[in-house]
Amino acid sequence: MSTAEAFILSGKYRTILVIGGEFLARLTNQKDPGSTHLFGDGAGAVLLRPWEECRQGRLEATGMGSDGAGGSRIEMRENIYLDGKAVYRFAVPK
């Protein structure tokens, strides 16, 4: 989204299709109820155009970042192993 926003604001592109997806179900330990409900498969797409052309919706802000502070709660071997309750508490603000 940030890259698409920059391209539109630069005037170089007028229409951009952003597509994203992830397939994590095959990586989770299906016998671990602490991980199966936190990781799933998903996909989405959005078509972006300058506000002046379409007058529909508005991209208010974009940002990118990461926080590795909770990394010790997730372990990757053949599957994803994690402390599900601790990951949920860390990832979802109250």
What whole-number distance in Å separates Cα of residue 21 and Cα of residue 45?
A: 9
Question: Tens digits of per-residue pLDDT, 44-86?
Answer: 999 999 888 888 777 777 777 888 888 888 887 777 777 878 8
pLDDT of the residue at 60 = 75
Residues in the chain, overall count:
94
pLDDT of the residue at 34 = 72
Q: Tell me the average pLDDT of the chain.
A: 83
Structural domain total, the chain? 1
Strand partners, 17: 47
- Count the neighbouring beta carbons within 10 Å of the beta carbon of residue 15: 13
Range of the structural domain that residue 14 is part of? 2-59+67-91
Query: Which pairing describes strands 42-48 and 16-22: parallel, antiparallel, or unpaired?
Result: antiparallel
Predicted confidence (pLDDT) at residue 92 exceeds the cutoff of 80: yes
How would residue 12 be classed by pLDDT, with cut points 50, 70 and 90? very high
Place of tokens 């005037």: 11
